Amino acid sequence: MQSLFKSYSQALYVAILALCSATIIWGNFLITLASILLISFWILNGNYKQHVSTLLSNKAAICYLIIIAMILLRCLVQFPHQAAIRACTKYLPFLLFIFTLGSYKELTHKQFKTIILVFICSLDINTIVCVVQQFFNQTDTSNFRAVGKYMSYIRLSLFTVVACAACAHYLFYDKNSDVSKIERIFLWGSVIWLTFVVVFLKTLMGYIIYALLATIFAISQIKQNYSSKVTIIIFAVFTALLLAVGAVLYSEARYFIFSDTINPETLDTHTQRGNAYTPYKQGTQAENGHWANVYVCPQELDSCWQARTGIGSIWTIGKNGFPYFPVICRYMASKNLRKDADGFAQLTDTDIENIKNGFTNYRFTSNSDIRKRIYEAFWEIHSYRNGDNPNGHSITQRLQFLATAKKVADTYPWIGAGAFAQTEMFKFYERDNILQQTNWNLPHNQFVMMLVTTGYLGLAIFVLCFIGIVVFSRKKWNALTISWFVATIVSFLSEDTMNTLAGTAFCAFLGGIILFAQPNIQSK
């Protein structure tokens, strides 16, 4: 057995890496299985002295191991508590990926290309399955979070943008690998499809990473193919894109910059039919610049709604899980209508159907509209600043996550809460009583997560080691490596990326392949 492994060691290693590359995006079980498969091969392969020597000479891998070892040691101190056992179990695959990948020498350009192509192909199939299932199985089209069938749609967007970068790497940059005509067709088809997937997933993080990588690509193309014509064309295209993006952002932001000014003393107190409006209070929610809580007569709305729809009162729970009443008020505000019988009479049958379907603004009756997501982001921030509850709103909830994480860090400043990070945050959520229990979560920021888990000392080590990873991997800086670094850093700012198995697959396995298995750019 040992001689067989020695004879076919490299071929088996490449085959296992290709298999793992194809399976890590298909769920937590297969990610765990991939880590077990790699460490099992490492043990059976022998040559421990050589592998350890390779690992010790790999400074980027050592920096990575310091980070994960620091987290595991902090949790080990809290053994045998169940939370410590769960934390160590969760981070163990991360350790196994970095340890095994860092202890093997670089692959050839051909071998590395094969693994990346297998990964892209598997991701193509995965995303096709996810998108098709979303179209055929989801009656609620607003539930785009359900697109990722095998991992979070946010993690899926990370893999997707890096796969796009990998396609661009082999189409435009890599000079060491021979890319056949069939492979080029496959890469062009993949980059077009995966770009569509990035748009379809509707993640702000995916858009930001893709925009950053597109900017880097444009700059590199100017340097690589310098000519006045190419420079002018690329500059003109990017200027037009920036202006278009700016125009779209402003077109949605202006509703909240120039909201209606309310003077309570001049407001009418009764409707045209003599019924009293709800007494005015400072509003928190506005639609298209018009406040939803001004000129509201629930009595008239209720009678009109029941007469026109026959589906119960305005307090009946609708399709989106909320009573119809707030949806009606916001929808009518979006059309600048008074929330009374006369205003309700101006609603069309289409408007009534939109309200039944949970739409709160007449301008957005399709959840595939990217502008709707932009508008919702501004709406959340505007409502939160005016005192609205952050529950159910992704952006403003994150602000509450960070505020709660800061309280935990102040309680455990130097070495953090370790495996009890989640428990401690939940204690503060319960005490503050701002977020509903279903919305309690971790910081959604990897740097803050490190602060909560390992304290200020651990955060400093984490930042220094990550800088070390960047510096010590400089011989592998190419389009693919830089893209992975950009995607990783952006994800660290908006997600607890390392805290999930899908994040482990992205940071430790895919990152390990790119940083350790990829041949240096100098080698031929």
Report the DSSP beta bridge partners of residue 276.
Answer: 270
SS3 string of 462-498? HHHHHHHHHHHCHHHCCHHHHHHHHHHHHHHHHCCHH
Q: Which of 2-6, 27-31, 225-229, 369-373 has the lowest mean pLDDT?
A: 2-6
- Residue 322 confidence (pLDDT): 79
Whether residue 7 has pLDDT greater than 70: no
Average pLDDT, the chain: 87
Q: Is the pLDDT at 220 greater than 90, yes or no?
A: no
The answer to the question of residue 366 being in a domain is: no
pLDDT: which is higher, 422 or 223: 422
Give me the domain span that covers residue 510.
2-151+475-517
Contact between 452 and 417 under an 8 Å Cβ cutoff? The reply is: yes
**What is the per-residue pLDDT for 332?**
94
Query: What is the arithmetic mean of pLDDT over 64-75?
Result: 91
- Residue 139, pLDDT > 60, answer no
Residue 462: what pLDDT? 94
In the chain, how many H helices and how many E strands?
Answer: 22, 2
Query: Is the pLDDT at 341 greater than 50, yes or no?
Result: yes
- As a whole number of angstroms, the distance between CA 425 and CA 419 comes to 11
Residue carrying the six token digits 């937590």: 28
Q: Which of 62-66, 149-153, 220-224, 285-289 has the lowest mean pLDDT?
A: 220-224
Beta strands in 17-100 (DSSP E): none
Q: CA distances (Å), 277 to each of 112, 307, 338, in order?
A: 69, 20, 10
Q: Residue 109: which residues within 8 A CB-CB, separation 6 or more?
A: 174, 176, 177, 519, 523
Largest CA distance in the chain: 95
Torsion angle of the four alpha carbons 132, 135, 136, 141, in this order, in degrees rounded to the nearest 10: 150
Average pLDDT on 269-290 reads 87
pLDDT-based confidence at residue 141 (cuts at 50, 70, 90)? very low
Percent of the chain exceeding pLDDT 70 equals 95
Residue 296, classed as helix, strand or coil, is strand
Closest CA to 121 of 210, 183, 34: 183
In a domain, 82, yes or no: yes
Tokens coding 161: 């943008």
Decide if pLDDT at 2 tops 60.
Answer: no
Class of residue 373 by CB neighbours under 10 A (exposed 0-12, middle 13-18, buried 19+)? middle
Residue 201 belongs to some domain of the structure: no
Question: In the beta sheet, which residues pair with residue 270?
Answer: 276
Note the Cα 476 to chain centre separation in Å.
26
The answer, yes or no, to whether residue 362 has pLDDT greater than 50, is yes
Two tokens at 220?
Answer: 């590199």
Distance separating alpha carbons of residues 81 and 89, to the nearest angstrom: 13
Higher pLDDT, 393 or 87: 87
Mean pLDDT over residues 434-455, rounded?
89
Of 427 and 225, the one with more pLDDT: 427
Residue 18 is encoded by which pair of tokens?
């290709």
4: pLDDT strictly greater than 70: no
In a domain, residue 327? The reply is no
What is the mean pLDDT of the segment spanning 492-511? Answer: 91
Amino acid letter, 426: F
Does residue 454 form part of some domain? no
**Mean pLDDT value across residues 325-352:** 92
Q: Is residue 43 part of a domain?
A: yes
Total number of domains in the chain: 1
**Structural Rg of the chain based on CA atoms:** 27
Q: Is residue 484 part of a domain?
A: yes
pLDDT band of residue 177 (cuts 50, 70, 90) is: confident
pLDDT at 20 over 70: yes
pTM (two decimals): 0.83
pLDDT per residue over 307-319, tens digit each?
898 888 888 888 7
Per-residue CA distances from 107 to 17, 24, 34, 49, 113 (Å):
11, 20, 19, 19, 9
Q: What is the pLDDT of residue 234?
A: 73
Question: Can you tell me the mean pLDDT for 230-239?
Answer: 76
- What percentage of the chain reaches a pLDDT higher than 90? 41
pLDDT of 21: 94
pLDDT reported for residue 195: 92
Indicate the pLDDT class of residue 524, thresholds 50, 70 and 90. Answer: very low
Token pair 């400074």 in the structure block, residue: 59
Q: Is the pLDDT of residue 487 over 90?
A: yes
**Mean pLDDT for the stretch of residues 269-295:** 88
Q: What is the pLDDT of residue 523?
A: 44
Buried b (16+ CB within 10 A) or exposed e, 327-355: bbbbbbbbbebbbbbebbeebeeebbebb
pLDDT at 112 over 70: yes
Q: First vs last Cα of the chain: how many Å apart? A: 34
Measured CA to CA, the distance from residue 349 to residue 308 in angstroms comes to 9
- Is residue 230 situated within a structural domain? no
204-224 vs 153-168: helix axis angle to the nearest 10? 10
Q: Which amino acid is at 10?
A: Q
Confidence at residue 144, expressed as pLDDT on a 0 to 100 scale: 59
Place of tokens 């297998």: 118
